[in-house]
Structure 1
Amino acid sequence: MSPMRRRVLADASRAGLALAGVGGLAGCLGGSSEVGVTCPPSVPTDDALRIGFVGDVMLGRSVDQRWRDDPDGPTAVWGSTLDRLRSLDGLVANLECCVSTRGDPRPGRTFHFRATPDWAVPALARAGVTCAGLANNHLLDFGPGALTDTPAHLADGGVAATGAGADRAAAFEPAVVEIGGLSVAVVAVTDQSPSYAAGRDGPGTAYAPLDPSHPLTRRRVGGALAAARDADPDLLVVTAHWGPNWVTEPTETRRSFARWLVDRGADVVHGHSAHVLQGVEVYRGRPIMYDTGNFVDDYAIKDGYRNDRSFLFELRVADGTLAALRLVPVENEYAQVVEAGPDAAAWLRATMRARSDPFDTPVERAGAGLRVPLSCEE
């Protein structure tokens, strides 16, 4: 049992609280839907642990062409955000491409994303990516060999991965990493591209309908959550590539699934896939980031959506509790991510406030960005 877990149990015991026993911070924060738990609020301090979350990191196609032969490519791709990324204790990203030199473009698809390992893996490592989610609709763009190469290349660079693998069991296996002295379990799932789903004996992604009423979701995702809880982590993260593109608010199914995840032990729900920002909800003291948008890519900017603007989402953990979510504005300047300028930052603040308002989420100004306080009061 981790020191964090012991402290959480001791604090809860002094407060006379019943624990669900689903993990370190999850225990304090009421991880089970059957048990009501109230914890004292926590105020973030400068020495709070900071874990970053970003949406699509697509290092293929034109991004790969721009940076793969540039000796500064592994750092230059992160632009003016690099120091901020390196200052984090850990970073979780959706890797929206395979990392390999093998394979041919999959027939019948419009877009194919593949990054060259020699520069892409050092790029992820230099940005401090602790864990890459691979459960998305591009890991099989260049066939099964390129898919299985991806987690192997990442591991060689010291980057953990989850959400795709040589078979279904491997795809749904959680990654357990250490971030700032905390044990963090990460589960990656997707409801995109069923044809990319891992089979019993075949490579693919951790696919399920991501509907809490669907038996396949309950069996596959429920099993992955159980495996993550069995690792007795201090923090349990679910990173989900879900829902349609160009939609600015989550469907009722996405909302129900996100809450289902929290009720079964998830401390953080990290969503992506729409290519645009969606709002943040705080449910039982846990942040649900419905869509974190695009972080770095070469995508065309769709009229009216500003898919080139997003946030670096920073979860702050202080004194054994989830304290706050800090949103740092960023812009994608074609194959490079930079800190957002004043106009873009103002647009991002207004947009996130509006899209979080339906969830009654408290959103505060914090410098150029925003802050969402977290409370574990039921």
Structure 2
Amino acid sequence: MTLRLGLTGDVMLGRLVDEQQLHRSVTAVWGDLLERLRSLDGLCINLECCLSTRGRQWRRTRRPFHFRAAPEWAIPALEAAGVDCCALANNHVLDYEEPALRDTLDELDGAGIAHAGAGATESAALTPASVAVGDCSVAVVALTDNTPEYAATATTPGTAYVEIDVEDAGTRRTVETALGQALARDPDLVIASLHWGPNMETEPPEAFRRFAHWLVDEGVEVVHGHSAHVFQGVEVYDGCPILYDTGDFVDDYAVDPSLRNDRSFLFEVTLTPSGTPVELRLSPTEIADFAVHAAGDEAASWSRDRMCELSAPFGTTFDREGEALVCRLGG
């Protein structure tokens, strides 16, 4: 029997999403995808906000946006969808300073939701998360090249920050430390969740491709990228899926009429019982009313065509199955 591991782009539950959720069902944010999410054997997201009602907005450097959601509804919503792991290495986890970050960590711990990529120290931020997907053990390492002022140090809280440069000795040491911890647990699957690059870019730079290939060579089997707010192409390298950017899953952002940052996919990796990725399934999604939904016909067609176009330079092809795109990984 195969297993289904879901991956999403940015889940931003703050600001207008937070306002709406305080007056509607906690599961409303998942729209008509709730049962689909709950049916997965595992689900990992990038949590693009802190979960707290405390703290003050970061003002030490210029930050135009600050994202914070009330744990009273956000935690039950994550639990209802079956979220197993939150990547926290991003440019919003410290938006309300240290108290809100600590609340986020405590709230997730209290709910039994694994997390990686941020912590009370750099060592804690680099510590991989451990997740059970069926009978498979999964280790998740989360890293970011965004917002260096949010980087954790030996004595201060923050994110697992790295430069995306395989030639940089410091980057290699940091990543090898995190991956070494992950591999020491002898997991069935290793995921690298990367919040990398600037907003609204539709293609990864060559440096990202080199970095992703190096990660696979070092033992990573799924690369889960996010940050651009728009999805990018998929590459299959040595049988492993590289999702350069999974776009936005839930948020309240203004929509670019050309780049359509309100459209993306639920990315599902099919695993063998021993944890080998064998298939990637992309189900089109779109954001409306501050919630995620299965994409309508026009949006789904646009997203499928766009994904095929963006993935073609990597030699990646898809089959069509119903509304979804499917890529065989050869595992």
- Same fold (TM > 0.5): yes
- Counterpart of 1:91 in structure 2 is 43
Partner letter of residue 135 of structure 2? G
Partner letter of residue 333 of structure 1? A
Is residue 183 from structure 1 mapped to residue 137 from structure 2 by the alignment?
Answer: yes
Structure 1 segments of 4+ aligned residues over 3 angstroms from their partners: none
Match of 1:348 among 303, 308, 314: 303
1:334 CA displacement: 3.4
- Counterpart of 2:318 in structure 1 is 363
C-alpha contact 1:363 1:370 (8 A) present in aligned 2: yes
- Counterpart of 2:114 in structure 1 is 160
1:77 CA displacement: 0.6
- Counterpart of 1:170 in structure 2 is 124
Partner letter of residue 337 of structure 1? V
Is residue 78 from structure 1 mapped to residue 7 from structure 2 by the alignment?
Answer: no
Is residue 122 from structure 1 mapped to residue 110 from structure 2 by the alignment?
Answer: no
C-alpha contact 2:136 2:273 (8 A) present in aligned 1: no
1:318 CA displacement: 2.4
| Structure-to-structure mapping, 1:102-251, within 5 angstroms | 102-107=54-59, 108-251=62-205
Partner letter of residue 92 of structure 1? C
Match of 2:229 among 275, 291, 295: 275
- Counterpart of 2:280 in structure 1 is 325
TM-score normalised to structure 2 length = 0.97
Distance in 2, Cα, partners of 1:150 & 1:264 = 30
C-alpha contact 2:4 2:41 (8 A) present in aligned 1: yes
- Name the Cα RMSD after superposition: 0.9
Q: Secondary structure at the match of 1:330?
A: strand
TM-score normalised to structure 1 length = 0.85
The answer for unaligned runs of 5 or more in structure 2 is none
Percent sequence identity is 55
Partner letter of residue 121 of structure 2? D
Deviation by residue 1:333-370 (Cα, 9 ceiling, x = unmatched): 03100000111110011000000000001211111010
Greater Cα shift, 312-321 or 97-106? 312-321
Deviation by residue 1:137-193 (Cα, 9 ceiling, x = unmatched): 001100011112112101111211110000000000001111111110000000000
Q: Secondary structure at the match of 1:78?
A: helix
Q: Secondary structure at the match of 1:188?
A: strand
Distance in 1, Cα, partners of 2:22 & 2:122 = 32
C-alpha contact 1:297 1:334 (8 A) present in aligned 2: no
1:319 CA displacement: 4.8
Q: Secondary structure at the match of 1:111?
A: coil
Distance in 2, Cα, partners of 1:137 & 1:302 = 21
Deviation by residue 1:104-125 (Cα, 9 ceiling, x = unmatched): 1112210000010110011111
Q: Secondary structure at the match of 2:76?
A: helix
Deviation by residue 1:208-256 (Cα, 9 ceiling, x = unmatched): 1021111121011111001100010000000000011111000001101
- Counterpart of 2:245 in structure 1 is 291
1:135 CA displacement: 0.1
Distance in 2, Cα, partners of 1:105 & 1:269 = 32
Aligned length: 328
Partner letter of residue 216 of structure 1? G
C-alpha contact 1:323 1:375 (8 A) present in aligned 2: yes
Distance in 2, Cα, partners of 1:340 & 1:314 = 16
Which structure has the greater CA radius of gyration?
A: 1
Distance in 2, Cα, partners of 1:181 & 1:352 = 32
Is residue 336 from structure 1 mapped to residue 288 from structure 2 by the alignment?
Answer: no
1:68 CA displacement: 2.2
Distance in 2, Cα, partners of 1:127 & 1:319 = 23
Greater Cα shift, 97-106 or 51-60? 97-106
Q: Secondary structure at the match of 1:77?
A: helix
Distance in 2, Cα, partners of 1:135 & 1:319 = 29
Deviation by residue 1:12-43 (Cα, 9 ceiling, x = unmatched): xxxxxxxxxxxxxxxxxxxxxxxxxxxxxxxx
C-alpha contact 1:247 1:274 (8 A) present in aligned 2: yes
1:303 CA displacement: 2.9
Distance in 1, Cα, partners of 2:273 & 2:113 = 27
Distance in 2, Cα, partners of 1:78 & 1:339 = 10
Distance in 2, Cα, partners of 1:179 & 1:84 = 16
Is residue 372 from structure 1 mapped to residue 324 from structure 2 by the alignment?
Answer: no
